[in-house]
Amino acid sequence: MADDDIRIVLMGPPGVGKGTQAKLLTETLAVPHISSGDLFRTNYQEATPLGMQIKKYMTEGLLVPENITISIVMEAVLSSQAKKGFILDGFPRTITQAEALDQALTKQNKFVDFTLNIDVPTEQLVKRLASRLLCSSCQTTYNTETQPPKSEGLCDLCNTPLYQRDDDGQAAVKKRFQVYNNDSRPLLKYYGSQGKLINIDGTGTLMKVHQHLLQAISNISSNNIPG
């Protein structure tokens, strides 16, 4: 990397833990976590005009149309808070989005440094999604099996009730995996061909995966760029 800036894309199938890992990484790297899913969910929960427009796509596990997604994420990516970088989670999900991101950054002489692709077998992910709970206020993620909250149904951090995402139901999960395989998997090749793809084993504990991610970032920072 040319300077202290750091621009990371976190990738991986639904339920792989991108949001949780991104939150942990922001504490170490001191750059904002930009999650397209969180941006959309906030609008959806607050019933903003945008929220009403995207509700159908989100609950059915479909992609929100490109023009809406690209404009909302680019606003965050190009904001002053993200001047020194970002950890992007949930975006890009298509080649069109990746190209839009590259173009917007290039105009500012910036670029994505690398993509960390967290992988876990699909069967494990389906189980994880079925037991996932989310805080309706701060969006912290829990899992009733592997990472339960201290008080049942309440967020450890802000005591707000937890809920299950509409799109973690069986039908929407199936659709989300189809969409991931069709639209998002090609991104592995996109970033791989730029020499920017690093695969991370996501099957261990939350902290183990966090360590893998930190190690990968530290290898890159010391110019040990993997082939």
Catalytic residues: 18, 93, 132, 165, 176
| Token pair of 67 as six digits | 């023009």
Taking the complex as a whole, the smallest distance from the CB of residue 115 to ligand AMP amounts, in Å, to: 14
Q: How many residues does the chain have?
A: 227
Closer residue to ligand AMP, CB minimum distance, 191 or 220:
191
Where do the DSSP E strands lie in the chain?
A: 6-11, 33-35, 85-89, 114-119, 132-135, 141-143, 162-163, 197-201
Q: Helix, strand or coil for residue 56?
A: helix
The radius of gyration of the chain's CA atoms, rounded to the nearest angstrom, is: 17
- Going by C-alpha positions, the residue among 120, 126, 87, 109 that lies closest to residue 6 is 87
CA 86 to the chain's CA centroid:
11
The region that residue 164 occupies, defined by phi over 0 for left and psi between -120 and 50 for alpha, beta otherwise, is: beta
Closer residue to ligand AMP, CB minimum distance, 91 or 190:
91
Are the C-beta atoms of residues 211 and 201 closer than 8 Å to each other?
Answer: no
Closer residue to ligand AMP, CB minimum distance, 100 or 213:
100
Q: Which residues contact ligand AMP by CB under 6 A?
A: 14, 36-37, 40, 57-58, 61-64, 69, 90-91, 93, 97, 167, 176
Taking the complex as a whole, the smallest distance from the CB of residue 3 to ligand AMP amounts, in Å, to: 27
Taking the complex as a whole, the smallest distance from the CB of residue 194 to ligand AMP amounts, in Å, to: 19
Taking the complex as a whole, the smallest distance from the CB of residue 91 to ligand AMP amounts, in Å, to: 4
Taking the complex as a whole, the smallest distance from the CB of residue 226 to ligand AMP amounts, in Å, to: 25
CB-closest chain residue to ligand AMP? 37
- Phi and psi at residue 66, to the nearest 5°: -55, -45
Closer residue to ligand AMP, CB minimum distance, 113 or 167:
167
